[in-house]
Amino acid sequence: MELAFAMERIAILSLFAILTSANGLRNLKLAYQWTLIDYDYPSEEARQKDIDKQLFQPDEVEPFDLDVYYKGSERKIFVTTSRYCPHIPATLSTVTNKTRNGNRVIKPYPSWEWHRDPEKCRRNSLVSVYRLFIDQCDRLWFSDNGRLGDDWLCPPRILVFDLKKDELIHTYEIPQEQHKNVSLFGTIVVEVEDPSNGCANSFAYISDYDARVLLVYDLKKNRSWTVSDYSFWPNAEYSTFNVEGKSFTTAVSVIGMALSPPGKERILYYHALSNDIEGWIYTKYLKNESLFSEPFGQSKLFHVFPHERKAQSGGEYMDSHGNLYFGILPSAAVVSWKANTDPESYQMGNFKIIDRDDETLQFPLGIKVRRNERGEEILWVFSTVLQRLISNTVLFANQTNLRVLYGKINDFRPYSTD
């Protein structure tokens, strides 16, 4: 036991030494960067009106996630700006070619009308969105929490858009007994069972940051249920963050989720932001509602790797070859791991550094892998300064507060592309 502990500690120290020496590694390229976020208003008068009414305050707009949609040679970048406060005029947008003060302007999606008067709870309206998922069927999925700051305006919903037409094709109101006005639905991943035979057989897995459960939604049956396990919970030891010299404490549950590639038995990997463990479960169990009729009744179905990261981590995603990508805090790094269910495989010594930079990768919150028009897999990283927001430090217009980075997976060769 002592020898095993010593070997693990050596592996951890070795990786952190490599992380430190790898500062400035350039496997990822810069696509976009912002000092402050601004919106594509129809006129200067409309923009100033929102500022005067305190509906828009640029130094409080902090994006949380991105996703990328390739349609032929066109590329559309989606970003979310959750309404954690009332000074954010739109919660879901796309990046435009327009600029203001050197920053790309974002355009509310699908239109400004969807983001106005959120308290009216219209079918064609949005309140607050945290994270996104684009599936193989050209559909954009997300949950709308229905919350403006701490105030509940509308029931939480799941929404699905057809990206070929930019039209809403499905909504689902989450039953009240599954949120009880204490939920904050965030990360979402979608499993399409057989895209070649249509896209109806789809399941969405959505983490509830506040209730610390996982919501499972069956599109075909139009039905949802919740799943609980101790591995979703934050750990007090990893609830204090130190990033960019700023220290803050927040207990956040599952934020990182990734699906294994199609074929065989699919696996959902997951981890809490305020924890250092990685868990996994076969999705065939999640899709069986009867298994979870009792809270914590099927803990044996969930697995946790025995070796920890010894660090916090934000978003994660898996490529088609089974390589899992995730950030390492506070090391300002993105790493990959050749995923499998061997309990001994998930440990520091088996992580490969993809990129490391104290300036550009301070808080890699969103990670996606998408295929471009040539079929190449591209790793996208949404690097934020979330630590400034949580520690109540305003975003300054004279410093870069947000970056979108990318890289071709075949260019930096993770552990396996077999």
| Confidence at 396, pLDDT banded by 50, 70, 90 | low
Q: What is the pLDDT of residue 417?
A: 58
Q: What is the pLDDT of residue 154?
A: 96
User: Any bridge partners for residue 37, and if so which?
Assistant: none
Contacts of 18 (CB under 8 A, 6+ apart): 353
Q: What is the pLDDT of residue 1?
A: 43
Q: What is the pLDDT of residues 136-185, one digit of tens each?
A: 999 999 999 999 988 999 999 999 999 999 999 999 999 999 998 889 99
User: Any bridge partners for residue 407, and if so which?
Assistant: 379
**Above 80 in pLDDT, residue 79?**
yes
Q: What is the pLDDT of residue 393?
A: 64
Q: What is the pLDDT of residue 9?
A: 46
Q: How far is CA 195 from CA 27, 269, 299, in A?
A: 32, 22, 31
Cβ count near 110 (within 10 Å): 18
pTM of this structure: 0.92
User: Helix, strand or coil for residue 44?
Assistant: helix
Give me the mean pLDDT over the 36-44 stretch.
Answer: 96
**Above 90 in pLDDT, residue 273?**
yes
> Among 159, 161, 179, 183, which residue's Cα sits nearest to residue 171?
159
Domains annotated on the chain, with CATH: 2-412 (2.120.10.30)
Is 293 exposed, middle or buried, given 0-12, 13-18 or 19+ CB atoms closer than 10 A? exposed
**Above 70 in pLDDT, residue 392?**
no
Q: What is the pLDDT of residue 3?
A: 41
Sheet holding 279-282, edge to edge: 254-259, 267-272, 279-282, 303-304
Give 96 or 23, the one with higher predicted confidence: 96
Q: Which of these ranges, 41-50, 252-261, 290-299, 360-369, has the smallest mean pLDDT?
A: 290-299
Q: What is the pLDDT of residues 315-344, one digit of tens each?
A: 999 999 999 999 998 788 999 999 988 888
